[in-house]
């Protein structure tokens, strides 16, 4: 039993520590890339004290940010629900942390016992992933409600509506992969992509795009960052949070991004597969993280270049475009898998999916038009 | 040993959550306590080797039902329960009777037979078995249920939408 506990710790602790340090690196990366897009330099002033190392491209900035957050005053509004106000940031951290353990990251030092432990917990990994990430919504709502602030509550309600809506295309696009792999075990899904990554099939590509868009909305990333839209509702559900509680929300958000990108890599991009993995198995972990960071780079890129959606456009996009398309994609995938003729499934599948996407966007063109308001000019 | 500890922790959390859910005056607190109960229950399912049911428990009850309840509560007033209006409910007596009667009824037959019930062997892949059962043996009830839920959904949209339609893309005039 002691051995089992030790093995569990040997899996959980590196994940928690490793991804938390990757979070620090990602904040730096995001600020640098955004700065590059906006023709600025970005953080570059902080240096390691008492050393010759000056600047280091601002890589020390996250440490300084962390220290600042720790030293800040923790303000709780007088009318806030004290207990829930305290619990919300903690709850926002728990689901992404749990979900990271479900990713088929092959830790380089893992022994046979640890592998068995991981595999035993993972038979319904994908389902468990969606189940646990749906708890994030609760944390956001809890924060919005407990703050007793109208902007917080508005942000919380927006977040709930958005996350509930986009969860459906997210799950439906993952269902395609479950169909193809014949199971929900993360390792088995990676194994099923040994010959061909699922993104290189027409239904897989469509599912990946839907999954990626929906995951942007699930993690409240731009252009779907309406729950925290600064220009409209200050900071949304975490308006009334300061100091380290704010940092916890930040950490939770980034861990959720890691988790959902990791799931996208597992489902569509072949997990840890890559060149030279057969010779050096430790490389699979590196490839996995590299693919995650490629996805995160695209997310940052989108944040730097796309404007925020309007609320009605956001909901319309999920229900009128993504949902029908992912339903159609289920049928296309089922037909392609049943026929098993790649030379036929590529042109037909791509044509059907592309045609449906064009037709759907044509039929909802009116939704994108400027609205007329009766109360405002 | 470790199973015993986990069982007692989960059971205590479940019972506490259930008690809090019915005793809190604040509705939002009540819902969150109920969700705590659901989460502990899914932990108990894991201990019964029913990991699929546990995942569905979290997905459906904690994720969907909880959010739905919070939404519904947000549409009502007097959420915090500070006002002094109270319903004189005398349901606690029957609730207590039921709580006592249920374990007795469930445990009486095996006790009378004189042997404790034998737990069935844990199935290997629960999701696969459930899926094939649903698609082969229970396919007609499944389809009927799906039709019923679709009907309910369309009905809810029709009720919420109301008889007249506003022109799209325009606010209603004041």
ipTM score of complex: 0.78
Question: How distant is the Cα of A71 from the closest Cα of chain B, in angstroms?
Answer: 31
**Is the CB of B24 inside 8 Å of chain A's CB atoms?**
no
What ranges in A134-242 are assigned the alpha helix state H?
Answer: 135-146, 150-181, 186-192, 202-218, 230-233
Query: Is the distance from CB of A215 to CB of A129 less than 8 angstroms?
Result: no
Question: How distant is the Cα of A127 from the closest Cα of chain B, in angstroms?
Answer: 7
What is the gyration radius of the CA atoms in chain B, in angstroms? 22
pLDDT of residue B117: 61
Tell me the three-class secondary structure of A288-339, residue by residue.
HHHHHHHHHHHHHHHHHHCCCCCHHHHHHHHHHHHHHHHHHHHHHHHHHHHH
Question: How distant is the Cα of B133 from the closest Cα of chain A, in angstroms?
Answer: 16
- Within 8 A of B63 by CB-CB distance, chain A residues are 131, 134-135, 137
Nearest-CB residue to A137 (from B32, B55, B67): B67
What secondary structure letter does DSSP report for A199?
G
**Per-residue model confidence as pLDDT tens digits over B107-153:** 777 777 766 666 666 656 667 778 888 888 899 999 999 999 999 98
The pTM for the full model equals 0.84
Judged by phi (left if over 0) then psi (alpha if -120 to 50, else beta), residue B12 lies in alpha
Residues 117-156 of B with CB under 8 A from A: 125-128
Residue A358: is its pLDDT beyond 90?
Answer: no
Q: Is A242 helix (H, G, I), strand (E, B) or coil?
A: coil
Q: Is B88 helix (H, G, I), strand (E, B) or coil?
A: coil
**Per-residue model confidence as pLDDT tens digits over B54-101:** 888 888 888 888 888 888 887 776 666 565 566 666 777 888 888 888
Rounded average pLDDT over A12-25: 83
- Within 8 A of A367 by CB-CB distance, chain B residues are 169
Q: Is A79 helix (H, G, I), strand (E, B) or coil?
A: coil
Q: Using alpha carbons only, what angle is made at residue A84 by residues A81 and A88, rounded to the nearest 5 degrees? A: 135
Note whether B59 contacts A371, CB cutoff 8 Å.
no
pLDDT of residue B174: 45
Note whether A132 contacts B58, CB cutoff 8 Å.
yes
Separation of CA B155 from chain center: 23
Could you tell me how many CB contacts below 8 A there are between chain A and chain B? 78
What is the gyration radius of the CA atoms in chain A, in angstroms? 22
State the Cα torsion B96-B97-B98-B101 to the nearest 10°. 130
pLDDT of residue A161: 85
Residues in chain B: 174
- Before A223, cis peptide (omega within 30)? yes
Note whether A375 contacts B62, CB cutoff 8 Å.
no
**Is the CB of B81 inside 8 Å of chain A's CB atoms?**
no
**Per-residue model confidence as pLDDT tens digits over A250-267:** 888 899 999 999 999 988
**Is the CB of A371 inside 8 Å of chain B's CB atoms?**
yes
- Within 8 A of B125 by CB-CB distance, chain A residues are 123, 183
Residues 150-179 of A with CB under 8 A from B: 157, 160, 164
Rounded to the nearest integer, the mean pLDDT of chain A is 82
Q: Which of the residues B59, B130, B166 would you substitute to probe the A interface, choosing the one with the greatest number of A C-beta atoms within 10 Å?
A: B59
Helices and strands counted in chain A (H then E):
16, 0
**Per-residue model confidence as pLDDT tens digits over A151-164:** 888 888 888 888 88
Distance CA B169, CA B163 (A): 18
């Amino acid at each position: 039993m002691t051995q089992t506990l030790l093995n569990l710790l040997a899996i959980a602790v590196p994940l928690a520590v490793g991804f938390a340090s990757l979070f620090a690196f990602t904040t730096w990366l995001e600020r640098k890339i955004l700065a590059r897009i906006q023709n600025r330099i970005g953080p570059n002033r902080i240096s390691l004290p008492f050393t010759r190392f000056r600047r280091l491209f601002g890589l020390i900035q996250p440490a300084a940010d962390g220290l600042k957050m720790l030293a800040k005053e923790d303000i709780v509004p007088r009318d806030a629900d004290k207990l829930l106000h305290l619990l919300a940031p903690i709850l926002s951290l728990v689901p992404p942390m749990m979900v990271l353990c479900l990713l088929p990251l092959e830790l380089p030092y893992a022994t046979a016992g640890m592998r068995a432990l991981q595999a035993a917990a993972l038979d319904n990994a994908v389902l468990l992933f969606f189940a646990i990430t749906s708890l994030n919504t609760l944390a956001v709502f809890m924060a919005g409600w407990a703050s007793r602030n109208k902007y917080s509550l508005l942000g919380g309600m927006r977040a709930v509506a958005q996350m509930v809506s986009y969860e459906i295309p997210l799950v439906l696009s993952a269902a395609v992969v479950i169909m193809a792999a014949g199971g929900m075990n993360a390792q088995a899904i990676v194994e099923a992509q040994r010959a061909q990554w699922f993104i290189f099939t027409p239904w897989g590509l469509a599912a990946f795009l839907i999954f990626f868009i929906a995951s942007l909305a699930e993690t409240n990333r731009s252009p779907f960052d309406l729950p925290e839209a600064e220009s409209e509702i200050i900071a949304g559900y975490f308006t009334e949070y300061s100091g380290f509680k704010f940092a916890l929300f930040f950490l939770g958000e980034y861990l959720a991004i890691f988790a959902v990108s990791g799931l996208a890599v597992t489902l569509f991009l072949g997990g840890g597969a890559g060149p030279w993995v057969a010779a050096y198995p430790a490389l699979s972990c590196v490839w996995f993280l590299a693919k995650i960071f490629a996805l995160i780079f695209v997310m940052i890129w989108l944040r730097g270049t796309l404007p925020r959606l309007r609320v009605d456009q956001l909901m319309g996009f999920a229900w009128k475009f993504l949902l029908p398309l992912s339903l159609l994609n289920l049928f296309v995938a089922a037909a392609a898998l049943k026929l098993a003729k790649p030379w036929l499934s590529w042109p037909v599948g791509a044509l059907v999916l592309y045609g449906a996407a064009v037709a759907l966007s044509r039929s909802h063109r009116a939704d994108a038009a400027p609205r007329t308001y009766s109360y405002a000019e | 040993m470790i199973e015993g500890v986990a069982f007692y922790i989960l059971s205590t959390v479940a019972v506490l959550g259930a008690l809090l859910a019915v005793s809190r005056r604040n509705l939002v607190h009540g819902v969150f306590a109920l969700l705590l109960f659901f989460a502990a229950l899914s932990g108990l399912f894991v201990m019964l080797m029913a990991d699929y049911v546990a995942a569905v428990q979290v997905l459906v009850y904690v994720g969907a039902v909880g959010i739905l309840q919070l939404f519904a509560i947000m549409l009502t007033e007097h959420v915090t329960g500070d006002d002094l209006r109270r319903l004189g409910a005398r349901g606690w007596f029957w609730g207590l009777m039921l709580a006592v009667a249920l374990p007795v009824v469930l445990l009486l037959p095996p006790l009378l037979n004189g042997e404790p019930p034998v737990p069935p062997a844990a199935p290997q892949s629960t999701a696969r078995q459930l899926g094939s059962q649903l698609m082969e043996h229970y396919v007609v009830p499944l389809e009927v249920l799906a039709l019923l839920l679709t009907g309910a959904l369309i009905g809810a949209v029709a009720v919420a939408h109301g008889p007249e339609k506003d022109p799209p893309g325009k606010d209603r005039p004041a």
